[in-house]
């Protein structure tokens, strides 16, 4: 049985973006100290942390120096080398473990592992040669998505395919790297479940959360949503299966497609808190970030069920094109809260923050948060 890591201990986080920042806020509220490690100085997480380590993720000496100052390590993004995680695991626990990170870093490993466990995944084929690409086209058709096996998120490293010639062209464009060819799903909705699991195997879920994307980046999340509620049991069973299969200790998000037949297929998983779960900060007794602290410290898990319907809308860097957004306009709306991530450079398509609205119904929360975001540019 894993020992409890009590408040007053020091938690380490690999990565220093907004997910690490919100994790650090939750941890400090619970009485923990926070050390962060990344390539950045004056980072969003560093603004909250007690100590900010800076170095390359392949600098194992620096990584070990960081690990010696903390009691447990978690991460806020997946682009961390296996050698770095292995170096840390020699000194302190990493949660989720390096084995989870290894599986989820590669879309082929991820999908294969889940498929072999009997979990419903989108039809796919591994691509390492022109011959494998041609066979995938023959077996799955030309309505597909071609993705690099590694290092892709928010639509990066993927192309929509409509013909065999296009598939070959795009694989050349991606550099002929190891890729995955996935059949395009004619879905009616996208959903996610954010879940936590501790070392005793206790699992707590939030969702399914209904999601809408814009330019492959999450734009809006709503929970609970009437369209999703009939799928709750199925979505949570799938999610629990994923966490148990991968032996996750920590927080994980399972992204799902809802088909026209109301079946659920796993799109991707993320072994960390997720953008769609940000609404839990304002809507739930226990946020996904407090849950992350509880899970990695082997504490009892909290309740992530929203007390009332909530909707979250991302704030992208595009909003700064005509000057600083009018924050006061958004905050005039009842039930709206503003979360900014401390990023200094508002580039287009960069996540700078989010708004959350809570209300009596999902429709009202959605309308309110979208109206509040629109008011930022007036």
What gap in Å lies between CA 255 and CA 29, rounded to an integer? 29
Under 8 Å between Cβ of 163 and 146: no
Collect the ranges in the chain with pLDDT lower than 50: 1
What gap in Å lies between CA 129 and CA 109, rounded to an integer? 17
What gap in Å lies between CA 54 and CA 124, rounded to an integer? 38
**pLDDT tens-place string over residues 212-255:** 999 889 999 999 999 999 999 999 999 999 999 999 999 999 99
Looking at 3.40.50.300, 3.40.50.20, 3.40.50.880, 3.40.228.10, the CATH number of the domain 10-94 comes to 3.40.50.20
Residue 154 pLDDT: 53
Q: Would residue 223 be called left, alpha or beta, if left means φ above 0 and alpha means ψ between -120 and 50 degrees?
A: beta
Residue 156 pLDDT: 65
Under 8 Å between Cβ of 209 and 276: yes
Structure tokens at 199: 């070392």
CA distances for 133 relative to 155, 214, 223, angstroms: 20, 28, 39
Q: DSSP character for 7? A: B
Going through the chain in order, the beta strands assigned E by DSSP cover 10-14, 33-38, 51-54, 72-75, 124-127, 144-148, 158-161, 179-183, 187-197, 203-214, 217-223, 250-259, 264-270, 310-316, 336-340, 351-358
> According to the 3-state scheme, what is the secondary structure of 14-64?
ECCCHHHHHHHHHHHHCCCEEEEEECCCCCCCCCCCCEEEECCCCCHHHHH
Q: Does domain 187-375 have CATH number 3.30.470.20?
A: yes
Looking at 3.30.1490.20, 3.40.50.10490, 3.90.550.10, 1.10.760.10, the CATH number of the domain 123-183 comes to 3.30.1490.20
CA distances for 193 relative to 47, 48, 206, 304, angstroms: 29, 27, 6, 11
Positive or negative: CA dihedral 253, 208, 111, 117: positive
Q: What angle do CA 150, 151, 154 make, to 5 degrees?
A: 120
CA distances for 325 relative to 18, 105, 195, 253, 350, angstroms: 19, 35, 33, 30, 15
The full set of domain ranges for the chain reads 10-94, 123-183, 187-375
Cis peptide before 96 (omega within 30 of 0): yes
- Selection from 149, 156, 121, 160 nearest residue 265 by Cα: 121
Residue 153 pLDDT: 57
Residue 194 pLDDT: 98
The 3-state DSSP class for residue 79 equals coil
The 3-state DSSP class for residue 289 equals helix
Side-chain-side CA neighbours of 151 within 13 Å: the count stands at 5
**pLDDT tens-place string over residues 181-193:** 999 998 999 999 9
């Amino acid at each position: 049985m894993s020992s409890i890591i009590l408040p007053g201990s020091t938690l380490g986080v690999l990565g220093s973006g907004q997910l690490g920042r919100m994790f650090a806020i939750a941890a400090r509220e619970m009485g923990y100290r926070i050390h962060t490690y990344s390539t950045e100085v004056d980072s969003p997480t560093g603004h909250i942390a007690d100590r900010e380590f800076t170095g390359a993720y392949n600098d194992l000496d620096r990584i070990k120096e960081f690990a010696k100052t903390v009691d447990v390590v978690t991460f806020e993004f997946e682009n961390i080398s296996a050698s770095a995680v292995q170096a840390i695991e020699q000194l302190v626990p990493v949660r989720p473990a390096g084995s989870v990170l290894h599986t989820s870093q590669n879309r082929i490993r991820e999908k294969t592992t889940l498929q072999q466990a009997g979990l419903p995944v989108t039809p796919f084929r591994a691509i390492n040669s022109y011959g494998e690409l041609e066979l995938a086209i023959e077996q799955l058709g030309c309505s597909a998505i071609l993705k690099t096996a590694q290092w892709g998120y928010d639509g990066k490293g993927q192309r929509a395919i409509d013909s065999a010639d296009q598939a070959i062209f795009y694989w050349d464009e991606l550099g002929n790297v190891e890729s995955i060819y996935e059949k395009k799903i004619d879905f009616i909705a996208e959903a996610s479940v954010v879940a936590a699991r501790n070392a005793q195997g206790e699992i707590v879920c939030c969702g399914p959360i209904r999601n809408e994307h814009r330019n492959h980046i999450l734009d809006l999340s709503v929970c609970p949503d009437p369209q999703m509620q009939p799928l709750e049991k199925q979505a949570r069973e799938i999610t629990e299966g994923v966490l148990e299969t991968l032996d996750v200790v920590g927080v994980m998000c399972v992204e799902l497609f809802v088909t026209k037949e109301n079946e659920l297929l796993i799109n991707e998983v993320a072994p960390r808190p997720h953008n769609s779960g940000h609404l839990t900060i304002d809507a739930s007794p226990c946020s996904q970030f407090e849950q992350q602290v509880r899970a990695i410290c082997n504490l009892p898990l909290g309740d992530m069920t929203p007390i009332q319907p909530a909707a979250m809308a991302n704030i992208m860097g595009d909003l700064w094109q005509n000057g600083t957004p009018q924050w006061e306009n958004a905050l005039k709306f009842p039930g709206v809260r503003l979360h900014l991530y401390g990023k200094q450079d508002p580039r287009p398509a960069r996540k700078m923050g989010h708004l959350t609205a809570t209300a009596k119904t999902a429709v009202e929360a959605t309308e309110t948060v979208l109206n509040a975001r629109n008011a930022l540019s007036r």
